[in-house]
Amino acid sequence: MSNKYLLDYIERRKQELNAVILAHFYQPPEIQDVADIVGDSLQLARQAAETDAQVIVFCGVHFMAESAKILSPDKTVLLPELQAGCPMADMVTADKLREMKQQYPDAAVVCYVNTSAEVKAECDISCTSSNAVNVVKSIPADQPIIFVPDRNLGAYIQGQTGRQMILWEGCCPIHDQLTRLEIEDLKKQHPEALIVVHPEVPPEVADIADAVRSTAGILKYVQNSPAQEFIIGTEEGFLHTLQKNCPDKTFYLGRKEFICPDMKLINLQSLADSMEKMQYQIEVPEPIRSKARIALDRMLAIAP
């Protein structure tokens, strides 16, 4: 089917369903363009909690759609591609986390939003890269902290807060591949460019950046900066957002193959199919949902 046909159908079906389409910044450009709201994990979680729509079509990965269902249990939440997962989220399980909690019974458990509902249900508070530093600052200074699953984000938080945390050995396999040498080579080619990276990158990369920000934070930084060139250390889908919002500025992707395959699974056809057939509906059973909701509600109460 032609893109025009699919776009027309998606718009018509959205009205029929009283649906809202949410898309992450890493989604393909055509999905970002058709979405009602494009944002980072924190922005999309807030929208999922506040929407009046009866159907939430989540163009992202599984943990994002799952979080939407946790926050809006009375809504129908659709994930157009059921195979769209997150390798980082798979690096921590509820069983293994319970084992660690037994080792550190007095610790507060902070989980990155990139986790399953089962893991969130075992945690005291969740966070996104936008508000992770403030989440950790909200915990009493004398209380130990277990942070799961991203060791790189955890290292960044430690550097910003001075808090020593017990870090899970997980990472984003896409961001973790970015090397200091790649960034330094780009800087030699473009000496006027500012280096702006996501906190999921390795610490040695974050150390040479001009700014370390969430995706929403990178956008704000670029918009407010007088600089005209930027080296961007995050997934390539975000360049579409940057170029749309800052057409007068130039962006260089941190590495050539900076692509999350899971974020690229959804396309216009699968989105249209999902809305036509009401597939794939995300469910989170009780009591996991209500326990995970506590961690997400606490996250949403803390500003970036």
Averages of pLDDT over each 10 residues, the chain, 304 residues: 93 98 98 97 92 97 97 97 98 98 98 98 97 98 98 98 97 98 98 98 98 97 98 98 98 96 98 98 98 97 92
3-state secondary structure of 101: helix
The verdict on 132 and 155 lying in the same domain is: yes
CATH number at 295 reads 3.40.50.10800
Q: Check whether residue 24 and residue 66 sit in a common domain.
A: yes
The angle subtended at Cα 300 by Cα 259 and Cα 220, nearest 5°, is 50
Same domain flag for 168 and 295: yes
166 and 179 inside one domain: no
Residues 110 and 165 in one domain: yes
Q: What's the number of domains the chain is made of?
A: 3
Other Cβ atoms less than 10 A from the Cβ of 48: the count is 25
Q: Return the pLDDT at 155.
A: 98
Same domain membership, residue 96 and residue 68: no
Listing DSSP states for 247-288 in one string gives TTSEEEESSTT---TGGGS--HHHHHHHHHHT-PBP---TTH
Owning domain of residue 218: 175-259
Q: Are 16 and 78 part of one and the same domain?
A: yes
Q: Are 190 and 221 part of one and the same domain?
A: yes
Say whether both 295 and 167 belong to one domain. yes
Residues 296 and 157 in one domain: yes
Which residues, other chains included, contact 45 with Cβ-Cβ below 8 Å and sequence gap of 6+? 64, 67, 68, 71, 113, 128, 296, 299, 300
123 and 193: one domain?
Answer: no
Describe the crossing of helices 41-50 and 288-300 by its angle, rounded to 10 degrees.
Answer: 110
* This prediction's pTM: 0.96
Measured distance CA(116)–CA(214) in Å, rounded: 20
The per-residue pLDDT for 42 is 86
Across the chain, the runs of DSSP E, i.e. the strands, are: 19-24, 37-39, 55-59, 76-78, 108-112, 125-127, 145-148, 166-167, 194-197, 211-212, 229-233, 250-253
Q: Are residues 165 and 295 in the same domain?
A: yes
